[in-house]
Structure 1
Amino acid sequence: MRKSLGKMALGAGLLVLGAIAPAFAQDKEKPAAEKTKTEDIPPPKRSITKHSGRFGGQSVSYTATAGETWLKADDGTPRAAIFSVSYVKEGRDPDRPVTFLFNGGPGSGSVWLHMGAFGPKRVAIPSDARDDGAPPYPIVDNPDSLLDVTDIVFIDPVGTGFSHALGKTDPKDFYGVTKDAEAIAQFIRLWLNENGRWNAPKYLGGESYGTTRSAAVLNQLEGAYNDVALNGVILISTVLDFAAGADTPGNEMSYILNVPSMAATALFHGKAQASSVEAFTQEARQWAIGPYAAALLKGNALQGDERAAVRKDLARFTGLSEAYLEQADLRVTPDRFYKELLRDRGLTVGRLDSRYTGKDYDNAGETPDNDPSFYGIDAGYTAAINAYARETLKFDTERRYVTIGSVGPWDWRLGGGRDNDVYVNVAPYIGKGLRENSGLRIFVGQGYYDFATPFFAAEYALSRTGIPKERVEYRYYGSGHMMYVRDEDRAKLSQDIRAFIRAR
């Protein structure tokens, strides 16, 4: 389309060339001026360092490359500098697996997976849902890194980490589901070129919105000719179907999908009784998708004994009083749940991880002042990535590392018509990838105490028509959105993904 428009514009210009020759001559100088400004853009910064460590019980020597990769337009003009950190095992093997990882947001740098889960170093913050306090924060060896089974590339999308638009490029050109995915896919192709890894087994993984990005990047890599086939996609704290999970009036599906997470949280804080979180959440799943879903669909017609029975069961699963549930018309949003569950103790529970508790300004409000499971960890990660990147990896920059930044307005349109642009659901990309690549497998890791991306919502999105269930595997953890903050779950997550990669 752009080429066609360019030809039409050129033709129109030739028709009136004689009349505008002076102006045309002036315009002709502009590309040269713009080129000069492009040449003023500093070259990509990179730092290469050598290290060794013990991961998964094996000693590994590796090269760390921290630096920028230019994404260029078709005419070679640099448009963005993507910051990444690559860890490649020494004695380079072109057939060794490589895994590309990023976080979510949108607007989040890869610091969380990098310094919390899979990098060779991690920041040691409390494992038992306590605040990370004040510095210094220990940066320690991470034996749970995956470097024994795969090389790893941590990627910061434009507007996050140290990544940024270049020259006159508007950062908004990268702010959108598809725009962002195109940029990450371009980076991956460039990395494969530079490192000679086109025939290596390839894995793609993300956390939170990073799972949305994973599905969209999968579509960019495999959804057209000249594709890049993947061996696996790793989804950690999954969000794919945004419409089903939207906490908005009139969407009954959201209430249904949140019940199992409420049940797990109520049990954790002693507001419910059951033999185990596994048993209780399974019971909650069946009740939510059965009697509760049927009740909500009846709307105002739900009355009498049937309403009373549903209210009683909802109270048992959520730990909330029947009186409160009746006032809420049997529909409790997560925000209200965080505030109400432990109101009698003067505490709120976290959104990212409902094991965490916080203390609000007062106890009278309807929703919490803040999320204790985020302010309980963010300072440690911010300090760690800045210290590690600048001091250990020797990456020299005056730029601020953006752990969570503003990348709006975000373009949520997927294309393909009005329905695709209104109902935002990237799970069909996963299904298409599985159907068209028999070697592709999907790993799904979910925390029981995660309300940002509830585990039942992930299961729902990945159980729809067109998604072969036999190549989707689920693993569950006794923590929340960032399950790796809990020591036991970080080790388990590492073992589970290590097994997933080895099973190709």
Structure 2
Amino acid sequence: MNRIASPTVPTLVSKAFSAMIWLVVLALPAAPLLADDHDPAEAAESPQARQSVTEHSIRIDGQRVDYTATVGWLIMEEDDKPIARFGYTAYNRKGDYGPAERPIVFAFNGGPGSSSLWLHMGILGPQRVVVNDAGYADPPPAKRVDNEFSIIDIADLVMIDPVGTGFSRPLGEAEGKQFWGVDQDIESVAAFIKRYITEHGLWAAPKFILGESYGGVRGAGLAHHLQSRHGMNLNGLILVSPFIDTAAGRDGGGLDLPHALFLPSFAATAWYHEALADRPDNLEPFLDEVETFALEEYLPALTAGYTIDPGRKREIAERAAAYTGTTTDYWMKADLRVDHQQFLQELERNNRLIAGRIDSRFIGPSVNPLAESMDYDPFFPAVGPAYTAAFFDYLHNELEFGRDEEYKTTAWPLDWDWSHRDPDGNRQVAVNLLPDLSRAMIMNPGLKLHIQQGYYDLATPFAATNYYIRHLDIPAEARERIRYDLYPAGHMMYLHEESMQAYRDDLAAFIVDAIPR
């Protein structure tokens, strides 16, 4: 690795770092970042952009790839006043490339309130964390290796940390509430993308956005906002385990539809843990059967409410129990409505174990076997500390940045504004970015959509993703521009070693296909 100086921004060699925190939907419990949580001293100075640029090489598909890594932040302004510093890490392949030759991918995690740590160190960046699939990581030191599954051989990459996460902070008189909301977040990330594209002369380059989890809301919104507000068309939008519509993708809120969309993921989890009395050999046909039952029989039973025939209710409970490795009495006591946190506690209750929400292949001891809902998500203690330690080691010692600054892996809990105006200006009661995504695909006939989803994901279940695709209000031609890949893994399918190569191959093929020849 060689250290090189930036021609425009002072380089930084850092000295110390302060806190370590964890993530939300893709996160571990963290110290709260409140709406006014930024350093008042920053308002007294004229803030400056900072960055560190280093040179590296890696082998991908047997080929040496030389690249530069740039980590730092830009200063965002409004009315000629600084309002935020916006942190990022960029990877650019070295070579004599013109401004339109290299595609560029802007990527982020979700939350809302998560930094880009997971995608960065899990699959996209040139380094990745080594963990034990569906099991606890080894004790320290955390293992970090060259990532042969990275996409930096075919595309330049910018990992984005929205305001409040990473090194990104409100500045001056700006407050967190100017950034922490569905529309506020979309606007601020779009402003950063436009600024980055402009400063680097990349308006002619093929452009992609990749978002995970709540990144589905952000990504769908950006596809429309960049197009309608900034005149920037995307070549491709990649949504990883997306959350897009609150009325479909969030259970436990009194709505019937989410219960039906979560049921197939319950079945997948029971199948994986061999909790089914009559376990079929093949997962996919079994899940097709369960999804059909969920939508055609279970959902109508829920919508019938108290008018459902008692015999029919028990029949539905029996089938739900058979599909999910639980009991008929459990479903009857729940009035047929079991949310995912209840199910994950119930599945292995007799063994004093709970299954994971982010990835239900993970399992851990229950703190309270009598609890109605899961005590914690065993996914996080299994892999979270390894990711955190490996990332900070990489940031401080290879990228040579951030020892004197706090990198916030999460900004949770946030006072998030869950309101949204759709493309026609209507304020939504329940946030749903499907209209934004539909409008973007209609108005940009070159926009292609790639969705990557895991079967064992109980944060954003695959049947909800199926529902999103079916409810995009687009013409038949536009549906030909959708690619959908499923993996035998969880929310972060790239933790599953056998899925890493497939993830990389699918993503690379999509990027290449989305660029006109």
TM-score (norm 1): 0.89
Q: Given that residues 86 and 163 in structure 2 are in contact (C-alpha distance below 8 angstroms), is that contact kept between their aligned partners in structure 1?
A: yes
Q: Which has the larger radius of gyration?
A: 1
Q: 1:465 to 1:205 in 2, by over 3 A?
A: closer
Q: Given that residues 133 and 376 in structure 1 are in contact (C-alpha distance below 8 angstroms), is that contact kept between their aligned partners in structure 2?
A: no
Once residues 264 and 308 of structure 2 are traced to their aligned partners in structure 1, the CA distance between those partners, rounded to angstroms, is 22
Task: Indicate whether 1:113 and 2:119 are aligned.
Answer: yes
Q: Secondary structure at the match of 1:377?
A: helix
Once residues 165 and 512 of structure 2 are traced to their aligned partners in structure 1, the CA distance between those partners, rounded to angstroms, is 31
Once residues 37 and 276 of structure 1 are traced to their aligned partners in structure 2, the CA distance between those partners, rounded to angstroms, is 58
- 2:244 corresponds to: 240
Any residues of structure 2 matched to 1:317-332 within 5 Å, and which? 317-332=323-338
Deviations 1:174-194 (A, max 9, x none): 101111111111111111112
2:268 corresponds, among 256, 264, 286, to 264
1:228 corresponds, among 229, 232, 254, to 232
Task: Indicate whether 1:380 and 2:390 are aligned.
Answer: no
Q: 1:454 to 1:502 in 2, by over 3 A?
A: same
Once residues 250 and 372 of structure 1 are traced to their aligned partners in structure 2, the CA distance between those partners, rounded to angstroms, is 26
Once residues 274 and 46 of structure 2 are traced to their aligned partners in structure 1, the CA distance between those partners, rounded to angstroms, is 58
Once residues 341 and 171 of structure 2 are traced to their aligned partners in structure 1, the CA distance between those partners, rounded to angstroms, is 39
Q: Given that residues 106 and 407 in structure 1 are in contact (C-alpha distance below 8 angstroms), is that contact kept between their aligned partners in structure 2?
A: no
Q: 1:343 to 1:37 in 2, by over 3 A?
A: closer
2:484 corresponds, among 459, 470, 474, to 474
Task: Indicate whether 1:98 and 2:104 are aligned.
Answer: yes
Runs of 4 or more above 4 Å deviation: 36-39, 416-419
Once residues 419 and 495 of structure 1 are traced to their aligned partners in structure 2, the CA distance between those partners, rounded to angstroms, is 39
Letter in 2 for 1:425: N
Offset at 1:78? 1.3
1:462 corresponds, among 448, 463, 469, to 469
Once residues 113 and 48 of structure 1 are traced to their aligned partners in structure 2, the CA distance between those partners, rounded to angstroms, is 21
Once residues 440 and 287 of structure 1 are traced to their aligned partners in structure 2, the CA distance between those partners, rounded to angstroms, is 34
Task: Indicate whether 1:333 and 2:343 are aligned.
Answer: no
- 1:450 corresponds to: 457
- 1:305 corresponds to: 311
Once residues 102 and 495 of structure 1 are traced to their aligned partners in structure 2, the CA distance between those partners, rounded to angstroms, is 20
Deviations 1:43-96 (A, max 9, x none): 11100111111124432111111111111112x211111111111111133121
Once residues 422 and 316 of structure 1 are traced to their aligned partners in structure 2, the CA distance between those partners, rounded to angstroms, is 36
Letter in 1 for 2:141: P
When the two chains are superposed, the root-mean-square deviation of aligned CA atoms in Å is 1.7
Q: Given that residues 113 and 411 in structure 2 are in contact (C-alpha distance below 8 angstroms), is that contact kept between their aligned partners in structure 1?
A: yes
Q: Given that residues 47 and 75 in structure 2 are in contact (C-alpha distance below 8 angstroms), is that contact kept between their aligned partners in structure 1?
A: no
Deviations 1:183-229 (A, max 9, x none): 111111111112111111100011111111111111220123x4111
Q: Which has the higher helix share?
A: 1
Q: Secondary structure at the match of 2:252?
A: coil
Offset at 1:491? 1.6
- Structure 1 window deviating more from structure 2 (92-101 vs 458-467): it is 458-467
Q: Given that residues 41 and 166 in structure 1 are in contact (C-alpha distance below 8 angstroms), is that contact kept between their aligned partners in structure 2?
A: no
Any residues of structure 2 matched to 1:158-173 within 5 Å, and which? 158-173=163-178
Offset at 1:421? 2.9
Once residues 255 and 161 of structure 2 are traced to their aligned partners in structure 1, the CA distance between those partners, rounded to angstroms, is 33
Q: Which has the higher contact order (CA 8 A, sep 6+)?
A: 2
Q: Given that residues 165 and 171 in structure 1 are in contact (C-alpha distance below 8 angstroms), is that contact kept between their aligned partners in structure 2?
A: yes
Offset at 1:247? 2.0
Letter in 2 for 1:197: L
Q: Given that residues 220 and 437 in structure 2 are in contact (C-alpha distance below 8 angstroms), is that contact kept between their aligned partners in structure 1?
A: yes
- 2:433 corresponds to: 426
Once residues 504 and 71 of structure 2 are traced to their aligned partners in structure 1, the CA distance between those partners, rounded to angstroms, is 23
Aligned length: 466
TM-score (norm 2): 0.87
- Structure 1 window deviating more from structure 2 (147-156 vs 241-250): it is 241-250
Letter in 2 for 1:405: A
Q: Secondary structure at the match of 1:93?
A: coil
- 1:495 corresponds to: 505
Any residues of structure 2 matched to 1:11-90 within 5 Å, and which? 40-74=45-79, 76-90=80-94
Once residues 162 and 501 of structure 1 are traced to their aligned partners in structure 2, the CA distance between those partners, rounded to angstroms, is 29
Offset at 1:231? 0.5
Any residues of structure 2 matched to 1:252-291 within 5 Å, and which? 252-272=256-276, 273-291=279-297
Q: Secondary structure at the match of 1:462?
A: helix
Offset at 1:275? 2.2
Q: Given that residues 56 and 146 in structure 1 are in contact (C-alpha distance below 8 angstroms), is that contact kept between their aligned partners in structure 2?
A: no
Offset at 1:244? 2.1
Q: Secondary structure at the match of 2:145?
A: strand
Q: Given that residues 216 and 240 in structure 2 are in contact (C-alpha distance below 8 angstroms), is that contact kept between their aligned partners in structure 1?
A: yes
Identity %: 39
Deviations 1:427-448 (A, max 9, x none): 1111111111111011111111
- Structure 1 window deviating more from structure 2 (302-311 vs 140-149): it is 302-311
Q: 1:82 to 1:42 in 2, by over 3 A?
A: same
Offset at 1:389? 1.2
The unaligned stretches of length 5 or more in structure 1 are 1-35
Deviations 1:352-404 (A, max 9, x none): 01111111223111112110012211111111221111110111442222112
Once residues 313 and 49 of structure 2 are traced to their aligned partners in structure 1, the CA distance between those partners, rounded to angstroms, is 64
Task: Indicate whether 1:155 and 2:196 are aligned.
Answer: no
- Structure 1 window deviating more from structure 2 (46-55 vs 468-477): it is 468-477
Once residues 45 and 152 of structure 2 are traced to their aligned partners in structure 1, the CA distance between those partners, rounded to angstroms, is 38
Offset at 1:133? 4.5
Q: 1:280 to 1:420 in 2, by over 3 A?
A: farther
Q: Given that residues 314 and 332 in structure 2 are in contact (C-alpha distance below 8 angstroms), is that contact kept between their aligned partners in structure 1?
A: no
